[in-house]
Structure 1
Amino acid sequence: MMMMTEQPAAEEKQPAKNSKERQFKGLSLTERKQLRREKLIEAGIEAYGTHGFFSVTVKDICNEAKLTERYFYESFKKSENLFQTIFLKLIDELQQNVMQAIMQASSDPKKMIEAGLTALLTTLKDNPQMARIIYIDAMLVQELHNQATIHETMSRFDRMIHAFVMLMMPNIGRSEREISLVATGLNGYVTQIAIRWVMSGFKQSMDEILSSCSIVFLSLLQTFSQHEPSVKK
């Protein structure tokens, strides 16, 4: 059965200079372009998250979105650009879920740790397509490394954990440099556990993964809670 795709229409021509955009079905040209872009992003999440980046073509994305390939290149130069857009969108969603959970938790550091990690792991398990894109394919797409997207994303989570440590222990007697290094280590630790969990198809229980991730945070809390002389920044 042939899949119906949106065909280029006459009204898609560039509007005359200084004239208002013509309306089609109540939408301007700019609004229609944005709508098509959003369809491609949703199609990409479905396709990449199910089959993997390297098994999906531009044509596959367009078929999923029910759009012609012309409309793909209207928004993205190549598949890697769409994948990068999707990756950043999903990272934002994941980070927001974690931060929201931490901020809504009680002021007890242990409960904050549990809330943040639970939000992270629950988001991944409830969204296996997101999990695959972030923790499997993104690590293999060279374009993301070339443009430092992966590095910047890891740095964002480093900063989030750094802020989390300061929130738990505002009077911590450690230098900013040391806390920054510890945050990077914690991020890498949790990331590696998450990658293994996602690649296994979430075989291990949530409780087991949560416990494994929590260990280092609780150890950090115990160590940093000890009274030590302040260190100059």
Structure 2
Amino acid sequence: MDERTAVGTRRGENYGGRTREERAADRRDRILASALQLFGTRDYEDVTVAEVCTGARVSKRYFYEHFVDREDLARALQKEQNEWLLAGVVAATPPSPRTVEEVMRPAVHQLLTMLRANPRRAQVIYINAPRMETRRRGVLREDAQFLAWMLRRVSPQTKDRIRYERLLLALVAGLSEVIIDWLSRGMTDDLDDLADHLTAYCQSVLAAA
């Protein structure tokens, strides 16, 4: 070990071949993984910071280096999972769609497929996140903006921007409520039928928009 490495180790900058930043990032990842397990299988109110720390194998001291409290953790986890979901939806849409249906049908089908295959993520995004009402409203607005971005390739620019944005917000809110109902009943409905129904709903709202 050279002198520089030795000094860094004594200062806590390197330990086990990893820097302080790398160790902190690892702890944060473990906290989020533990939170996904707990919030993804239990109600938000039933999960404690202590349980998250136990699952992550970190002390509360390290927890509070990354998150203000349990709600802050839940918001960060929901944001991470929603970004994962939207990235998958984008990947499923064709590169050069010609109609609204060519955008919405694969997007909706992929959305439902990903949720069914990942029930813990689905619980975090659609069941526990709505309990934090402020975050829920923010997510709906973000998803409406995301949908507007997806539709730019096939939808003409509207002159009444406010009307268009409000209808997109209503669209994603309606989608969310149907998906929450589907999740709450164990995702037992036929996925293809549900995708068809939601695609038709999207097309109807977008036609009005």
Shorter-chain TM-score bucket reads 0.7 to 0.9
Distance in 2 (alpha carbons) for counterparts of 1:85 and 1:137: 13
Q: Taking structure 1 as reference, are residues 83 and 184 closer, same or farther at Cα in structure 2, changes over 3 Å only? A: same
Q: How far off its partner does 1:222 sit?
A: 5.4
Does residue 1:153 correspond to 2:139, yes or no? yes
Distance in 2 (alpha carbons) for counterparts of 1:88 and 1:37: 15
Distance in 2 (alpha carbons) for counterparts of 1:177 and 1:71: 45
Flag the structure with larger Rg: 1
The 5 A counterparts of 1:57-76 are: 57-76=48-67
Report the equivalent of 1:181: 166
Distance in 1 (alpha carbons) for counterparts of 2:139 and 2:195: 22
Root mean square deviation, CA, Å? 2.4
**TM-score, normalization by structure 2:** 0.85
Picking from 178, 184, 196, the partner of 1:193 is 178
Aligned residues: 202
Percent identity reads 21
Picking from 59, 66, 91, the partner of 1:100 is 91
Q: How far off its partner does 1:193 sit?
A: 0.7
Q: How far off its partner does 1:84 sit?
A: 1.0
Unaligned runs of 5+ in 1: 1-12, 16-20, 225-233
Q: Taking structure 1 as reference, are residues 36 and 169 closer, same or farther at Cα in structure 2, changes over 3 Å only? A: same
Q: Which moved more, 1:211-220 or 1:49-58?
A: 211-220
SS in 2 for 1:168: coil
Letter in 2 for 1:168: V
Report which of the two has the higher share of helix: 2
Q: How far off its partner does 1:67 sit?
A: 2.1
SS in 2 for 1:51: coil
Deviations along 1:123-175, one digit per CA (max 9) or x if unpaired, are 2111111111111111113xxx3xx43222111111122233432223x5652
More RCO (CA 8 Å, sep 6+):
2
Report the equivalent of 1:80: 71
Q: Residues 52 and 133 of structure 1 are in contact (CA less than 8 Å); yes or no, is this contact kept in structure 2?
A: no
Unaligned runs of 5+ in 2: 1-8
Letter in 2 for 1:203: T
**TM-score, normalization by structure 1:** 0.77
Distance in 2 (alpha carbons) for counterparts of 1:193 and 1:217: 12
